[in-house]
Every structure is written in structure tokens, then in C-alpha cells.
């Protein structure tokens, strides 16, 4: 028997003998099994840790915020606005109420014109006025010493308003010499009073006034022609009055 064991050992290599003589904790089988056991233990620990964390998470109170209603509700005080009362003022005897009544507008009807203008025998007549031309027509000197023609007249106001003779005659009577209209000029000396009163004085309705007009002439020999207006059409009448200066 000893020979057989000896022969068996002689057949094994040195490396095999060395491995066979190693202690159990250095053998590969022990190391592998130990490694597997460690892996299993680690897995069990991880599984246990995960379960324990889930249990603790479920047992912990939630951090949700809930609205808490107060025990006593405070009612807001409603402030009542005072109504504005408009008091109507009392009318006393000392201060009577003024009532403005709208009166219907009166339409002024234009008075129809019967005589728009006629001239005959040195008389220029209309529904509004009458000019009677005087025979006293003469050349004089104006305030500047220039030649001027003085024509006296009698004016009657037929309107219902005060009228200025000079304004009426300036609008209704025109004087021309050599085709040019003659312009009014200023009087001097004894003739200034009658000309100025005609230019500035007012004649009341139904009243007459002795006045005069004064115009500057360009020639002391050429004839001057007077024209009279139609108050309805504002056209000049066909009848004229020639005035000779020589």
C-alpha cells in the first residue's frame, strides 16, 4: 500500500502537489465561494435598506400646506353713503324767481318799394329820401386851395331812423367830370359850416335839412354830370343832371 501511495505522489507534478498542500482559505474554491457569499450579503443588505427607507417615508407626515379657516369670521362693515338731497331754493317776496320765457321771433317783412328812384326838375325822389338840388352851384376853393364844386340841396328823411345826409348822398348821388368820378373834399371859410353839418349832423325821421356837398374838380371849364341811384336795383337812373361851370 505504501508503494502505491508513493507511486501516486511520484506521478503528481510539483505544482499540483503545491496546490494540494495549500491551506483551505487559499484555495480557489474557497475564494470563489466566499466572493459569492459576500455578493449575496450585499444584495440582501441593499434590499433591506430599500425596504426600510420606503417604510420610513410612508410613516413620515406629509408636508402639504392646508388652508386653515379661522374659527370666527369677521364681517366687513358696510358704510352707507348718505344720499345727496338737492333742496330747491325757496322764493321769497324780496327775491322773486326770474322766469325767462322764449318769445317767438318776429319776422320782419320788407316793406315793398313803390318809388325806387326818380329825378325830375332838380328833384331826386325815392321811398327813403328826397333831394332837392339848389340852383346855387358854384366853384370855390377847398381847404387846400384847389378848385372845388359846391352843390347845395335840401334833404328830407323818409325812413324811421336818424340819417346822416352826407352818408346818404355819398351812396345815392355820384358826380363825374370827363368820365372820372369826383371825390369829396374839405371846405373852408363861410362854406365850412354847412358842409361840416351835412357830414356830421343827423336828420330825424320826417324832418328836412339844408345841406351841401363839396367835390374837387380837375377842370374849371368842363361840365360836371350828376347821377342818381335806383335804391331797389342799385343801378344808376337814366336821368342825369348836367352842371355847367363857366
- Selected residue with higher pLDDT from 107 and 151: 151
Report the 3 state secondary structure along 154-196.
EEEECCCCCECHHHHHHHHEEEEECCEECCECCCCHHHHHHHH
For the record, the C-alpha cell of 14 comes out as 510539483
Given a cut of 50, is residue 232 above it in pLDDT?
yes
Give pTM, 2 decimals: 0.55
Same domain, residue pair 143 and 237 = yes
- My answer on whether 125 and 47 are in the same domain is no
Whether residue 214 is contained in a domain is answered as: yes
- Tens-digit pLDDT profile for residues 82-109: 555 555 445 444 444 444 455 555 555 6
Establish if 141 belongs to a structural domain: yes
- Cα separation, 203 vs 34, in Å, equals 151
Supply 4's cell numbers. 502505491
Say if residue 150 is in the same domain as residue 238.
yes
The whole-number pLDDT of residue 33 equals: 79
Question: pLDDT tens digits, residue range 182-203?
Answer: 999 999 998 999 999 999 999 9
> Does a structural domain hold residue 122?
yes
pLDDT on residue 42: 87
Segments forming the whole domain that contains residue 41: 2-53
| Per-residue model confidence as pLDDT tens digits over 51-68 | 766 655 454 544 444 554
Q: What's phi and psi for 133, nearest 5 deg?
A: -75, 135
Amino acid at each position: 500500500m505504501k508503494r502505491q501511495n508513493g507511486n501516486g505522489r511520484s506521478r503528481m507534478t510539483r505544482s499540483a502537489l503545491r496546490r494540494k498542500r495549500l491551506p483551505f482559505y487559499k484555495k480557489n474554491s474557497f475564494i470563489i465561494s466566499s466572493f459569492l457569499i459576500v455578493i449575496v450579503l450585499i444584495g440582501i443588505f441593499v434590499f433591506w435598506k430599500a425596504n426600510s427607507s420606503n417604510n420610513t417615508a410612508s410613516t413620515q407626515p406629509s408636508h402639504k400646506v392646508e388652508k386653515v379657516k379661522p374659527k370666527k369670521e369677521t364681517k366687513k362693515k358696510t358704510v352707507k353713503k348718505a344720499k345727496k338731497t338737492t333742496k330747491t331754493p325757496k322764493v321769497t317776496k324780496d327775491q322773486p324767481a326770474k322766469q325767462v320765457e322764449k318769445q317767438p321771433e318776429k319776422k320782419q317783412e320788407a316793406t315793398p318799394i313803390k318809388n325806387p328812384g326818380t329825378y325830375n326838375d332838380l328833384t331826386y325822389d325815392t321811398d327813403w329820401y328826397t333831394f332837392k338840388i339848389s340852383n346855387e352851384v358854384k366853384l370855390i376853393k377847398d381847404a387846400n386851395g384847389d378848385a372845388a364844386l359846391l352843390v347845395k340841396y335840401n334833404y328830407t328823411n323818409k325812413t324811421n331812423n336818424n340819417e346822416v345826409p352826407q352818408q346818404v348822398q355819398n351812396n345815392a348821388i355820384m358826380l363825374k367830370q370827363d368820365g372820372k368820378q369826383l371825390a369829396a373834399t374839405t371846405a373852408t371859410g363861410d362854406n365850412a359850416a354847412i358842409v361840416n353839418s351835412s357830414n356830421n349832423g343827423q336828420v330825424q325821421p320826417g324832418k328836412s335839412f339844408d345841406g351841401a356837398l363839396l367835390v374837387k374838380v380837375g377842370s374849371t371849364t368842363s361840365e360836371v354830370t350828376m347821377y342818381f341811384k335806383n335804391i331797389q336795383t342799385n343801378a344808376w337812373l337814366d336821368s342825369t343832371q348836367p352842371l355847367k361851370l363857366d
